[in-house]
A = this chain, B = another copy of it.
Amino acid sequence: MTSIALCTINSSARSIARLCQVSRSAHGTADFHSFVARYSTLRKCAFLPGGKWSFIRAGTRQMSQASPGRISLGRYGVFLAAGAAAVTGVLTAGVSHFQRAEMATKISKVEEEEENIRERCKSFMSVPVTDIKVLEQRKDAMSARMEMLIMETQAAFCRALEEVDGGSFRVDRWSRKEGGGGISCVMQDGKVFEKAGVNVSVVFGNLTEEAAKQMRSRGKVLKGKDGKLPFCAMGVSSVIHPKNPHVPTVHFNYRYFEIEEADGTKQWWFGGGTDLTPIYIDLEDAAHFHKTLKEACDKHHPKYYPDFKKWCDNYFYIRHRGETRGIGGIFFDDLDSPDQEEVFNFVKSCAKTVVPCYLPIVNKHLNDSFTPEEKDWQQVRRGRYVEFNLVYDRGVKFGLATPGSRIESILMSLPLTARWEYMHEPTKGTKEAEMLEVLRNPKEWI
């Protein structure tokens, strides 16, 4: 197995440790792709003039051709290629499994705390919503740490998509009159992606008790001062609709809420998830996607994957159609235990899987040929996507009903094109019928 790896001035032992872990799992090509993509997501490659960081291309197309050697990494001219296994071997020689794990944990802490916020911001798609000075001052506060994470996730995902598409994201930085703002990145009518949106928002202000109740899926009643509750909500969310019907749509969202009650108690919780909506079922893709998520979950709790997989199937259910939106993934909300640090670490693990979950699948099907009938089926499935998002999605409903929301950022999850055919029902035995069967009866993928 040959591969690409990166060495940069900033590369830390943490990433090396992660490198070890992944390379040891040795599940073949899909896992390897996942490793490369993950690696390319997480590590900055080189700081470039103009304050931009270059990210390595997910590069699985090269990978699947098993071609080691020099690979052009795009416009910034960052080059480096080597055998991952070799790098791994060198750096971890003589260290036991447990020692490696412990080392990784320690280094993780150090990496996060030590790295310069101002430097990390340079890799982002835009300057963050919160002033960098404020982020520096509050760098230990969860709100600052989460804002850095969502900005990093946005940047990593956008760069990976740009690399595969060849197009560029339009970046809109917006502010919200009532407090906060966001950064919306959209690529429309690209070579690979029909519509790709990656949005960060960081908003704050006061909520009514009723609105606060609606924000929590468990509907817990929160006591405000004179009925008002100061809150802070932030998240990264993305929906990618590719052109080729053999490349699935992906969605992810990771978010954090803080609400202050009248007695000064701070309520906080995390939510999120990543899910896949293929137009045609591909068992290998489904297994790769779910396995990558399961690995991220298993690092934190053995029940996370099975519980959140089920939650995902239940949440993304188009009730009036009797079918799920896609083949699921994970979904969780209101997560506030065992403690803030651990939940944050779990969310971080999830956020860092979005590229390795998705990019290998994009690369695999990028050049698949398709018929007009397959394109039509994609458009019909897109119609269902719209139905779910407008009728059931809590985030969309909350956003549309909230004055001052940036509607374009909320509705960028809708596809560029969609179709509603009256009484559309695939013929038995077709690939379309096979897909529908899966949507009507969610299954286990691993």
- Name the interface residues of A149-175: CB closer than 8 Å to any CB of B: 170, 172
- Name the interface residues of A348-390: CB closer than 8 Å to any CB of B: 379, 383, 386-387, 390
Contact B422 A188 (CB under 8 A): yes
- Name the interface residues of A415-433: CB closer than 8 Å to any CB of B: 415-423
Report the separation of the CA atoms of residues A362 and B319 in the bound assembly, to the nearest whole angstrom. Answer: 37
The distance from the CB of A418 to the nearest CB of chain B, in whole angstroms, is: 5
What number of A residues sit within 8 Å (CB to CB) of B? 32
Query: Does A400 sit at the interface, judged by CB under 8 A?
Result: yes
Contact A321 B186 (CB under 8 A): no
With a cutoff of 8 Å between Cβ atoms, the chain B residues found around residue A400 in the complex are 319-320, 391
The distance from the CB of A319 to the nearest CB of chain B, in whole angstroms, is: 8
The distance from the CB of A144 to the nearest CB of chain B, in whole angstroms, is: 29
Most buried by B among A172, A321, A410, A418: A418
With a cutoff of 8 Å between Cβ atoms, the chain B residues found around residue A320 in the complex are 400, 405, 407, 410
Contact A423 B386 (CB under 8 A): no
Query: Does A412 sit at the interface, judged by CB under 8 A?
Result: yes
Query: Does A414 sit at the interface, judged by CB under 8 A?
Result: yes
With a cutoff of 8 Å between Cβ atoms, the chain B residues found around residue A188 in the complex are 421-422
With a cutoff of 8 Å between Cβ atoms, the chain B residues found around residue A414 in the complex are 383, 420
Query: Does A408 sit at the interface, judged by CB under 8 A?
Result: yes
Report the separation of the CA atoms of residues A227 and B379 in the bound assembly, to the nearest whole angstrom. Answer: 43
Contact A423 B408 (CB under 8 A): yes
With a cutoff of 8 Å between Cβ atoms, the chain B residues found around residue A271 in the complex are none
Query: Does A197 sit at the interface, judged by CB under 8 A?
Result: yes
Report the separation of the CA atoms of residues A415 and B383 in the bound assembly, to the nearest whole angstrom. Answer: 10
Contact A422 B412 (CB under 8 A): yes
- In the complex, what residue of chain B is closest to A405 when comparing beta carbons? B320
With a cutoff of 8 Å between Cβ atoms, the chain B residues found around residue A418 in the complex are 386, 417-420
Query: Does A195 sit at the interface, judged by CB under 8 A?
Result: yes
- In the complex, what residue of chain B is closest to A402 when comparing beta carbons? B320
- In the complex, what residue of chain B is closest to A407 when comparing beta carbons? B320
Query: Does A87 sit at the interface, judged by CB under 8 A?
Result: no
Query: Does A411 sit at the interface, judged by CB under 8 A?
Result: yes
The distance from the CB of A406 to the nearest CB of chain B, in whole angstroms, is: 10
Contact pick for A416, options B186, B410, B419, CB 8 Å = B419
With a cutoff of 8 Å between Cβ atoms, the chain B residues found around residue A186 in the complex are 422-423
The distance from the CB of A440 to the nearest CB of chain B, in whole angstroms, is: 14
With a cutoff of 8 Å between Cβ atoms, the chain B residues found around residue A420 in the complex are 195, 411, 414-416, 418
- In the complex, what residue of chain B is closest to A386 when comparing beta carbons? B386
Contact B408 A416 (CB under 8 A): no
With a cutoff of 8 Å between Cβ atoms, the chain B residues found around residue A319 in the complex are 400
- Name the interface residues of A170-219: CB closer than 8 Å to any CB of B: 170, 172, 186, 188, 195, 197
The distance from the CB of A79 to the nearest CB of chain B, in whole angstroms, is: 34
The distance from the CB of A135 to the nearest CB of chain B, in whole angstroms, is: 28
Contact A422 B197 (CB under 8 A): yes
Report the separation of the CA atoms of residues A416 and B422 in the bound assembly, to the nearest whole angstrom. Answer: 8
Contact B379 A390 (CB under 8 A): no
Report the separation of the CA atoms of residues A405 and B322 in the bound assembly, to the nearest whole angstrom. Answer: 12
**Can you list 15 contacts pairing A with B, beta carbon distance less than 8 Å?**
A172-B423, A186-B422, A188-B421, A320-B400, A320-B405, A320-B410, A379-B417, A386-B386, A386-B390, A387-B411, A391-B400, A416-B420, A417-B417, A417-B419, A418-B418
Binding site for B on A (CB under 8 A): 170, 172, 186, 188, 195, 197, 319-321, 379, 383, 386-387, 390-391, 400, 405, 407-408, 410-412, 414-423
- Nearest first, the 4 A-B pairs at minimum CB distance are A390-B390, A414-B420, A320-B400, A186-B422
Given A188-B422, A408-B422, A417-B419, output 6 extra A-B contacts at Cβ < 8 Å.
A379-B417, A386-B386, A386-B390, A387-B390, A412-B422, A416-B420
